[in-house]
């Protein structure tokens, strides 16, 4: 998934990315992609994700 965009109007809010990632099965691998300056957004999504146990 590529959570960032150069156009602000095309960016989904970070809390929605966290919600989307948190709703995946525990055995689903999620790859966050982007440019070097997107690493902060990707890290915030990763840090705030709620991991399902089943």
CA 6 to chain centre: 16
Instruction: Work out the angle between the directed axes of helices 39-48 and 14-22 (0-180°, nearest 10).
Output: 50
Rounded (5°) CA angle 10-52-18: 20
pLDDT in tens, 6-47: 888 888 999 999 999 999 888 889 999 999 999 999 999 999
Give the angle subtended at the CA of 51 by the CAs of 42 and 8, to the nearest 5°: 30
Largest CA distance in the chain: 36
pTM reported for the whole predicted model:
0.78
**54 — pLDDT class (breaks 50, 70, 90):** low
Residue of higher predicted confidence among 53 and 24 = 24
Q: What is the pLDDT of residue 29?
A: 92
């Amino acid at each position: 998934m590529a959570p960032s965009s150069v156009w602000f109007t095309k960016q989904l809010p970070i809390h929605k990315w966290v919600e989307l990632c948190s709703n995946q099965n525990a055995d689903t691998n999620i790859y966050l992609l982007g440019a070097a300056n997107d690493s902060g957004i990707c890290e915030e999504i990763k840090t705030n994700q709620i991991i399902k146990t089943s």
